[in-house]
Structure 1
Amino acid sequence: MLDKTTGIVLSITAYNDKTSLVHVYTEKYGRISYALPLQQGKKSRLMRTLFSPFAILYIDGEVKPRQDIQRIKDVQTAVPVFQLHYDPIKNAITLFLAEFLSKVIREPEPNNSFFRFLLQSIQFLNLMEDGKANFHICFLIELTGYMGFYPNISGYKKGDFFDLINGVFSAIRPNHSYFLSSMEAGVFYKIMRMNYNNLHLFQFNRGERSEILDYIITYFKLHHAGFQELKSLDVLKALFD
């Protein structure tokens, strides 16, 4: 059947010499892969320009159960997010987070609260100015909650370690290698107080921000089976170096 839904573009991958696949997280159906023709017609060219990472679109397309690839009838911009592509910092963050989400969102089922989180986060990033270099850190911390492994920060005391496997602070050094030192754990506790409205209050140098991102990625790798390497990570770090 044909149906309309709002979707957020995650990535585009090659399929064959005539078609690409655009991977979209939709409001009604969760993650969907749509066939995107590579013909040179005016409509095909226009459609391809709309499918940039984190584009927010109205999509009119097929929804066939048990079919891996759906087809698009029509697509329109739902919310313009031009700054994500014109601002170099926002663009690097967009490419990184879109790739990150492509790795961790696997289930096709819809999740309304998660979709609203993505939608509001993308719109906030598009408009924000102060503190944008911290946006991806805050986003990933919030994402752990939707993935089901938000860190437990209750009971933290200065000098505690942070156990990356169990997601808790501990006064006793864990008996494995996946933990943060007391100094690193203090920084981690600090970023857990971040939200989109106070990002500008958290001052980190480039090295600190890179280390924080490495902690978070390690945490995801430990809690999300099959997590793959991120091609855009080095680009993001280079921008802040």
Structure 2
Amino acid sequence: MIESTRGIVLTHTKYQESSVISHIYTEKFGLQSYMINQVRSRKSKGKTVFLQPLTLMDLEVYHSEKKTIHRIKDFRVNTPFSQIPFEPVRQSLAFFIAEVLNKALKHEDKLGDDLFDFLHNSICVMDSSINGIYNFHLFLLLRLTKPLGFYPHFEDLLHPKYFDLRTGMFQMAEPAHANFMNAWQTELLLQLKDVLVDDLDVLKLSGNERADFVEKLLEYYQMHLSGFSNIKSFQVLKELFK
């Protein structure tokens, strides 16, 4: 059956000499895999967009619940980017965010239109000239925990000192295990909760502080999402943001 849906390109794997299987988060069907032929040949005819992370697409697809890999009948770019593919920081963030989404959504059922709209709008903001772009992935990682079902319990304590990654709860005493945010990381998490995407430059962080905090957020994901493995592109961000 031919269906129309919006999609967000995440990652891809090579298939044979010139084809790929592109992993796309779709508005109607959640995370799906699509075979794209001749994408790595000289006759690609614009198909290389399926290799670019976070590309926003309008798709016509052949969809069958019985198949795990689908085909695309037609496509067009929904919102052309002006900065993400051409600016190193945004491009590296795109690879990182796409890898996170691919792993976070892999084992989830369709999570609703609100999540797709949030991601679509967030990617558009990321492509704009916002301040504090270096902190954009912090904002996205925290907000994404809400639809995924493990948003921190911010209402627990007024002035907590530690955030327990295992329970998703704040506490005054240091946990007896190693899976927690220390005092300054917990304070940053509380601050991040109230920061708007246009004001991310208020978070004054060194490269090492930012990397340490993101590592804790990724550890939090690993605690609460089955099969969420290491994010390989994170190392590139650490080097870029030093």
So what's the TM-score if we normalise by structure 2?
0.92
Q: How far apart, CA to CA, are the structure 2 residues paired with 1:18 and 1:88? A: 27
Deviations 1:125-154 (A, max 9, x none): 001331101100000000111110001122
Distance 1:169 1:110 in 2: 26
| Change beyond 3 A, Cα 1:163–1:36 | same
Secondary structure, counterpart of 1:67 in structure 2: coil
Whole-angstrom CA distance in 2 between matches of 1:209 and 1:45 = 40
Contact persistence 2:161–2:170 (CA under 8 A): yes
Of the structure 1 ranges 192-201 and 52-61, higher mean CA displacement relative to structure 2 is found in: 192-201
Task: Tell me by how many angstroms 1:121 deviates.
Answer: 0.4
Mean Cα displacement is larger for which, 208-217 or 116-125?
A: 208-217
Report what 1:134 is aligned to: 135
Alignment of 1:107-186 (within 5 A): 107=108, 109=110, 111-158=112-159, 160-186=161-187
- In structure 2, distance between residues paired with 1:41 and 1:85: 20
Change (3 A) 1:151 1:108: closer
| AA of the residue aligned to 2:2 | L
Q: Taking every aligned residue pair, what percent have the same amino acid on both sides?
A: 30
Residues 108 and 15 of structure 1, relative CA distance in 2, 3 Å threshold: farther
Q: 1:135 is paired with a residue of what secondary structure? A: helix
Specify the code of the residue in structure 1 equivalent to 2:69: I
Q: What TM-score do the two structures reach when normalised by structure 1?
A: 0.93
1:86 corresponds to 2:86: yes
Q: 2: distance between equivalents of 1:24 and 1:50?
A: 9
Match of residue 198 from structure 1: 199
| Matching residue's letter, 1:146 | P
Alpha-carbon shift at residue 235 of structure 1 (Å)? 0.5
- Return the alpha-carbon distance in structure 1 between the equivalents of residues 113 and 135 of structure 2: 26
Q: For residue 85 of structure 1, what is the amino acid of its counterpart?
A: P
CA–CA separation in structure 1 for the residues paired with 2:156 and 2:34: 46
SS of equivalent to 1:84: coil
The whole-number CA distance in structure 1 between the counterparts of 2:50 and 2:66 is: 27
| Contact 1:36/1:48 (<8 A) preserved | no
Counterpart amino acid of 1:193? D
Q: Distance in 2 between matches of 1:48 and 1:197?
A: 31
Cα distance in 2 between the residues matched to 1:41 and 1:235: 29
Q: CA-atom RMSD, angstroms?
A: 1.8
Unaligned residue ranges in structure 1 (runs of 5+): none
Could you list the per-position Cα deviations for residues 153-175 of structure 1 after superposition, in whole angstroms to 9, with x for gaps in the alignment?
A: 22434462211111111112222
